[in-house]
Amino acid sequence: MDGIFVGIDLGGTNVKIGCFDGKLKLICKTSAATESNMGPDAVVDRIAEATEKLLADNGLSMEAVESIGMGAPGPSILAEGIIIASPNMPSFKNVPLRKMVSERFGRPAVLENDANAACWGEYVLGAGRDVQDMVFFTLGTGIGGGVIINGELVHGFADNAAELGHIIIYPGGRSCGCGQKGCVEAYASANSTAIRATEAIGAGADSSLKKVLEKEGEITCKDVFEHSAAGDELARQITDETAKALAIVCINVLHTTEPKRIVFAGGMIAAGEMLLGRITDFFNEYIWSMKKETVEIAFATLGEDAGIIGAAALAKQAKDGGKRKSD
Amino acid sequence: MDGIFVGIDLGGTNVKIGCFDGKLKLICKTSAATESNMGPDAVVDRIAEATEKLLADNGLSMEAVESIGMGAPGPSILAEGIIIASPNMPSFKNVPLRKMVSERFGRPAVLENDANAACWGEYVLGAGRDVQDMVFFTLGTGIGGGVIINGELVHGFADNAAELGHIIIYPGGRSCGCGQKGCVEAYASANSTAIRATEAIGAGADSSLKKVLEKEGEITCKDVFEHSAAGDELARQITDETAKALAIVCINVLHTTEPKRIVFAGGMIAAGEMLLGRITDFFNEYIWSMKKETVEIAFATLGEDAGIIGAAALAKQAKDGGKRKSD
Give me the interface pTM, i.e. the ipTM.
0.95
Residue A295: φ, ψ to 5°: -60, 145
Q: How far apart are CA A37 and CA A33, in angstroms?
A: 11
Helix (H, G, I), strand (E, B) or coil at A305: helix
Task: Closest CB to B257: pick one of A161, A166, A181.
Answer: A161
In contact, A34 and A12? CB cutoff 8 Å: yes
* pLDDT(A324) > 50: no
For residue A292, the model assigns a pLDDT of 86
User: Which residues touch B196 (CB under 8 Å, ≥6 apart)?
Assistant: B187, B238, B241
Q: How far apart are CA A145 and CA A155, in angstroms?
A: 11
CB contact under 8 A, A160 and B75: no
- pLDDT interval class at A290 (50, 70, 90): confident
Task: Closest CB to B160: pick one of A176, A178, A258.
Answer: A258
Which of A31, A16, A98 is closest to A310 using CA atoms? A16
Min Cα separation B312/chain A (Å): 24
The number of beta carbons lying within 10 Å of the beta carbon of residue B273 is 9
> Residue type for A30, please?
T
Which of A278, A215, A274 is closest to A241 using CA atoms? A278
Least confident piece of the model among A283-292, A305-314, B121-130: A283-292
For residue B327, the model assigns a pLDDT of 35
Min Cα separation B323/chain A (Å): 15
For residue A219, the model assigns a pLDDT of 97
Min Cα separation B244/chain A (Å): 9
Nearest-5° Cα angle at B180, B179 to B183: 130
For residue A169, the model assigns a pLDDT of 98
Which of B162, B169, B149 is closest to B258 using CA atoms? B149
Min Cα separation B201/chain A (Å): 25
Average pLDDT over chain A reads 95
Which of A324, A307, A299 is closest to A137 using CA atoms? A299
Helix, strand counts (H, E) of chain A: 10, 12
A285 touches chain B (CB under 8 A): no
DSSP B25: -
pLDDT (mean) for A227-234: 98
Q: How far apart are CA A149 and CA A133, in angstroms?
A: 5
The string of DSSP letters for A154-182 reads: ---TTS----GGG-BSSTT-SB-TTS-BS
Q: What is the torsional sign of CA A225, A228, A234, A238?
A: positive
> Residue type for B240, please?
D
pLDDT tens profile A25-69: 999 999 999 999 999 999 999 999 999 999 999 999 999 999 999
- Structural Rg of chain B based on CA atoms: 20
Which of A120, A67, A70, A118 is closest to A96 using CA atoms? A70
Min Cα separation A237/chain B (Å): 16
For residue B134, the model assigns a pLDDT of 98
The number of beta carbons lying within 10 Å of the beta carbon of residue B67 is 21
Task: Closest CB to A167: pick one of B166, B178, B255.
Answer: B255
Chain A, nearest residue to B168 by Cα: A252
Q: How far apart are CA B297 and CA B280, in angstroms?
A: 7
Q: What is the torsional sign of CA B289, B290, B294, B300?
A: negative
Chain A CB contacts of B286 below 8 Å? 168, 171, 180-181
Q: How far apart are CA A210 and CA A219, in angstroms?
A: 9
Using CA atoms, how far residue A192 sits from A87, A142, A198, A226, in Å, is: 18, 8, 10, 16
Chain B CB contacts of A160 below 8 Å? 258, 291
Q: Is A231 exposed, middle or buried (0-12, 13-18, 19+ CB in 10 A)?
A: exposed
Q: Tell me which residues of chain A, numbers 247 to 276, contact chain B at a CB-CB cutoff of 8 Å.
A: 248, 251-253, 255-260
Pairing relation of β-strands B14-20 and B4-10? antiparallel
CB contact under 8 A, B168 and A288: no
* pLDDT(A203) > 90: yes
pLDDT (mean) for A271-296: 95
Chain centroid to CA A132: 19
Q: How far apart are CA A309 and CA A291, in angstroms?
A: 36
Min Cα separation B52/chain A (Å): 36
User: Which residues touch B267 (CB under 8 Å, ≥6 apart)?
Assistant: B139, B140, B190, B221, B222
User: Which residues touch B102 (CB under 8 Å, ≥6 apart)?
Assistant: B68, B108, B109
A290 touches chain B (CB under 8 A): yes
Chain A, nearest residue to B255 by Cα: A163
A130 touches chain B (CB under 8 A): no
Chain A CB contacts of B75 below 8 Å? 290-291
What does pLDDT average to in each consecutive run of 10 residues of chain B (327 residues)? 90 95 97 94 96 97 96 91 87 95 97 97 98 97 95 96 97 95 97 98 97 97 97 98 98 98 97 97 94 94 97 94 51
pLDDT tens profile A73-84: 988 999 999 999
Task: Closest CB to A167: pick one of B131, B179, B252.
Answer: B252
Q: How far apart are CA A33 and CA B28, in angstroms?
A: 68
For residue A87, the model assigns a pLDDT of 77
CB contact under 8 A, A156 and B288: no
Task: Closest CB to B161: pick one of A178, A258, A286.
Answer: A258
Which of B232, B248, B244, B235 is closest to B287 using CA atoms? B248
